[in-house]
Structure 1
């Protein structure tokens, strides 16, 4: 019997994926995708689909196949992918999240006691700014590779309604990218408020389709609480301010997240906590970071690396992931987000930053 157009397309896609996977195996890629996706596992998973949105293995690994310099190389196209493609996700998650095994479950949400956090740099000698952000996905929707144009519009409308309910310190305005002049976008990007299109890893993962439809930013009046809509995750809620007052920044983020959660339901699993597009952001999804100037310590790359590893910190360039440091300024944050509480993640970051400042002072 002759094959129909659909069967032919499926065969073509599988053949192209086979060829791309073979190139990955033959490459010198250091990605976790290459490390854990064995030929046996690949054969087991390559024709599976998630039950609700029909996501495939290709939807998960296409970015890592196209970008052989990826560190991770995999994204979840929908919440069910973490279960359907569990052999691969579990192995990568255990490696990245420092031993979070398939037998473990993420603890319940615990913001903790705010008085445990302090101003990390009261004399403003080292820390330029502090931010705490978390990602959230809205229940009932897939993630980027499987989202339709209508999905983006629906999520944006839900969030527009939710933002109208924010009051006091959190009150502000939602600005859709479709109505924002390019010059204003560029100014907000330069000031580290707004995300930008063009990350090749996200593009390869089909996270930028229908751009700029459904994308936008909410900013409170003081620009100290903001929410990105439909960038990498459905939502990225961020609290930020100049200086090193981690306690105040964390407090504001908690208030914002709790207020928005009253308006929309977030995707969460018992095993992984809050579910996100990238497996590096599972669990608390918390990323607490500072822009910090440490020219003496940063001159000793090995010492900088050692301190970061000891305190489970991630060191990035001035403008974030895949960028270089400018004038000795780094973006330093907690690396662990899964298998510990929100409170523990913040404490880990605070202790690491205080140690970095102490070392810089001693040099």
Structure 2
């Protein structure tokens, strides 16, 4: 088990986080007394041995997400993390394991590229800017150093990018795989669709390679951080909330909507995303973000016109 919370305690205010990471999937079973308490505290979800976590990748079940007010929303992103059976998580991954994981990813992504053409870049390649990509990475991110996964950098770390820019897949970073779909047109519906289609394709490809994604019936998809078990999914929308951000009821509103807010480099623009990842399906979590963002925008418009928002505040969750 890794304890990044001791290296970087963080602050008492701001985005909620966990201070521990699992070394492998078995850690969630061997140290269940510890991890179950972390999961319950972070997600507000009681872990029980007879629970059955449900998944829903039917993107047609999502209502809305393609109709945000463009005057307030500037972009969106959906990410999903996956870990592979029979390998330690990145916090304890050996160099040999990491290289085998990269070989598996390369094989699977080559086959994914038959439907969605793309290219796999090593981190060495990403350290030199090129015309055919926008990502440049010269040093390991501070976040990876803090959680102890930057050993042997940049060996066996890579990024796959689709040619149409709809999907990126990080290999051997925070988790074995992390799929990212970002859209500047803020169509969360399309970003979610891209993630659903391709994570299921990769799951099938990894099964054929006899290395399935890690799934526990009572926990769902298992990854290194207790903050992401269940679905491994984060849906976020960048929203202009200049007035609402100053409102004294903001924290209570976010808590009732089961959402979190992060600052961005743009003044007045905040990233709104789901906090919980377990106990709700992928569609359900994304729906929380869609509905929550629309309500927050309504509140922002009210405040711009010096109106009240008390009648818009949802009931306690």
The gaps in structure 1 that reach 5 residues or longer are 1-58, 319-324
Corresponding residue of 2:244: 297
CA distance in 2, matches of 1:78, 1:117: 36
CA distance in 2, matches of 1:125, 1:169: 34
CA distance in 1, matches of 2:139, 2:268: 23
> Secondary structure of 2:253's partner?
helix
Which structure has the higher relative contact order (CA within 8 Å, separation 6+)? Answer: 2
Corresponding residue of 1:7: none
Aligned with residue 88 of structure 2, among 123, 142, 161: 142
Q: Is 1:64 aligned with 2:5?
A: yes
Conservation of the 8 A alpha-carbon contact between 2:74 and 2:239: yes
The change in CA–CA distance for 1:299 and 1:342 in structure 2 (over 3 A counts) is same
CA distance in 1, matches of 2:191, 2:238: 14
The change in CA–CA distance for 1:106 and 1:333 in structure 2 (over 3 A counts) is farther
Corresponding residue of 2:27: 81
Aligned with residue 39 of structure 2, among 93, 96, 107: 93
The gaps in structure 2 that reach 5 residues or longer are 12-16, 207-211, 304-317
Corresponding residue of 1:317: 263
RMSD between aligned residues: 2.3
CA distance in 2, matches of 1:330, 1:295: 9
Partner deviation per Cα, 1:298-330 (whole Å, 9 max, x = no partner): 232x33322211111111122xxxxxx531111
Partner deviation per Cα, 1:258-306 (whole Å, 9 max, x = no partner): 1211211201111211111110000011101112222121232x33322
TM-score after normalising by structure 1 = 0.74
Corresponding residue of 1:161: 107
> Secondary structure of 2:280's partner?
coil
Mapping 1:21-36, distance limit 5 Å? none
The change in CA–CA distance for 1:106 and 1:346 in structure 2 (over 3 A counts) is farther
Q: Is 1:151 aligned with 2:93?
A: no
Partner deviation per Cα, 1:68-104 (whole Å, 9 max, x = no partner): 3374211001111111111111111111111323356
Q: Which has the larger radius of gyration?
A: 1
How many residues get paired? 292
Deviation at 1:123, TM superposition (A): 4.5
